[in-house]
């Protein structure tokens, strides 16, 4: 999950050094998420019946190759394809790792899944800091990451765990079973809202700070680090207090708070120090919404956790395609500043969706149900 964070954040962390504009950033994010969506849907379902370490090993090989090749040569179209392959690699990690963890941990699953996603944030944070200390020699960091992920693949191929609980049920039958009630679809759209803010913000914050707040290349990276530090702290602290009884209430509260914090961060003039403070709070706010949503999915469908969680996680690439493309188009035709209204708008959609379905989403802590 650490290297999932590296792969997700490399676009935003290195975009200005490569010379990418907001339109190109949006397309790269979109292509990465096409690969991610294909991968997470397939590998998540396979995690219920196949060896999870082997699946993670295959994903590691794919991810290592894409890390090494990303902008090794110039040419935007070529690197769009490489980004597609990188999405397949990180999608394998996302599709399998949480299902593996849910099968290992029998109590406080929301905390452990939040911690698992903490390492996604940690990877994003490290690559941003690393680029600062390497004086923007981002290619070296990609080569080193490729070597480490390749070594990780070898370790995965030597590990074995019990196969999932999906038994001999066909993949399509499992997807039909989880789709019999409204809960999975509510969680799916809520996940799209949660991901839209976090993922797009990671790709756009350095550009926002440079173009609209007058930051330099280095200080914009520091802003990204502060945002990631907020996410990391939030996933540890909020993940700890998010028990089964509190999950739905916390999701609703955080969506509402997101509207306020994103509006202040992007649209209220303030000093550089206050911007850093708001970025930290904003990051902490969005940190656990998505981990809590996928935890709900896994707890609802314990015998098909991989399938259920992969369906919810399909909201990641869909949101990761739609939101950046919308942001790119708005940036081109209405201006970059106006395009940032996408963030509080998505928070409002998530809040209304959660509020209207809070009773349906609530877990019966005495008995987990799939519908």
Question: If pLDDT is split at 50, 70 and 90, which confidence band does 160 have?
Answer: low
SS3 assignment, position 145: helix
Q: What is the pLDDT of residues 192-251, one digit of tens each?
A: 988 888 878 877 888 889 888 888 888 887 888 899 888 888 888 877 777 777 788 888
Helices and strands per DSSP (H, E), number in the chain: 17, 0
* pLDDT at 165 (0 to 100): 47
Q: Are 47 and 91 in contact (CB under 8 A)?
A: no
Among 9-13, 179-183, 246-250, the range scoring the smallest mean pLDDT is 9-13
Q: Are 248 and 297 in contact (CB under 8 A)?
A: no
Q: Give every CB contact of residue 154 below 8 A, 6+ residues apart in sequence.
A: 57
Among 17-31, 45-59, 70-84, the range scoring the smallest mean pLDDT is 17-31
Q: Cα(first)–Cα(last) distance of the chain, in Å?
A: 29
Average pLDDT on 241-263 reads: 86
Task: State the residue for tokens 């998010």.
Answer: 242
* pLDDT at 275 (0 to 100): 93
The sign of the torsion formed by the CA atoms of 247, 250, 255, 258 equals negative
Catalogue all structural domains in the chain, each as residue range(s) with its CATH number.
Answer: 2-361 (1.20.1250.20)
* pLDDT at 370 (0 to 100): 40
Among 34-38, 81-85, 318-322, the range scoring the smallest mean pLDDT is 318-322
Burial class of residue 303 in the structure, from the number of CB atoms within 10 Å of its CB (0-12 exposed, 13-18 middle, 19+ buried): middle
């Amino acid at each position: 999950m650490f290297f999932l964070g590296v792969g997700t954040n490399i676009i935003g962390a290195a975009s200005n050094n490569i010379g990418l504009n907001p339109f190109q950033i949006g397309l790269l994010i979109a292509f990465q998420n096409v690969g991610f969506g294909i991968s997470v849907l397939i590998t998540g379902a396979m995690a219920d019946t196949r060896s999870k370490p082997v699946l993670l090993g295959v994903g590691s090989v794919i991810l290592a190759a894409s890390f090494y090749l990303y902008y090794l040569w110039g040419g935007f179209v070529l690197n769009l394809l490489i980004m597609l392959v990188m999405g397949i690699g990180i999608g394998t990690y996302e599709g399998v790792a949480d299902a593996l963890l849910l099968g290992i941990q029998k109590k406080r699953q929301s905390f452990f899944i939040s911690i698992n996603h903490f390492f996604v944030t940690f990877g994003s944070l490290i690559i941003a800091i690393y680029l600062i200390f390497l004086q923007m020699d981002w290619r070296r960091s990609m080569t080193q990451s490729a070597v480490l992920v390749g070594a990780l693949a070898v370790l995965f191929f030597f590990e074995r765990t019990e196969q999932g609980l999906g038994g001999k049920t066909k993949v399509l039958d499992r997807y039909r079973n989880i789709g019999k009630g409204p809960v999975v679809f509510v969680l799916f759209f809520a996940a799209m809202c949660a991901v839209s803010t976090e993922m797009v913000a990671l790709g756009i914050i350095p550009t926002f700070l440079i173009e609209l707040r007058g930051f330099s290349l280095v200080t914009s990276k520091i802003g990204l680090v502060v945002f990631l530090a907020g996410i990391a702290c939030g996933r540890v602290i909020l993940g700890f207090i998010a028990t089964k009884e509190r999950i739905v209430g916390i999701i609703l509260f955080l969506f509402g708070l997101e509207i306020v914090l994103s509006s202040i961060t992007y649209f209220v003039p303030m000093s550089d120090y206050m911007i850093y403070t708001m970025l930290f709070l904003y990051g902490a706010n969005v940190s656990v919404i998505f981990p809590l949503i996928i935890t709900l999915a896994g707890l609802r469908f314990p015998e098909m956790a991989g399938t259920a969680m992969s369906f919810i996680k399909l909201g990641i690439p869909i949101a990761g395609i739609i939101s950046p493309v919308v942001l790119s188009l708005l940036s081109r035709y209405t201006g970059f500043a106006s395009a940032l209204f996408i963030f509080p708008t998505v928070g409002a959609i998530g809040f209304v969706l959660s509020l209207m379905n809070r009773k349906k989403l609530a877990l019966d802590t005495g008995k987990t149900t799939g519908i």
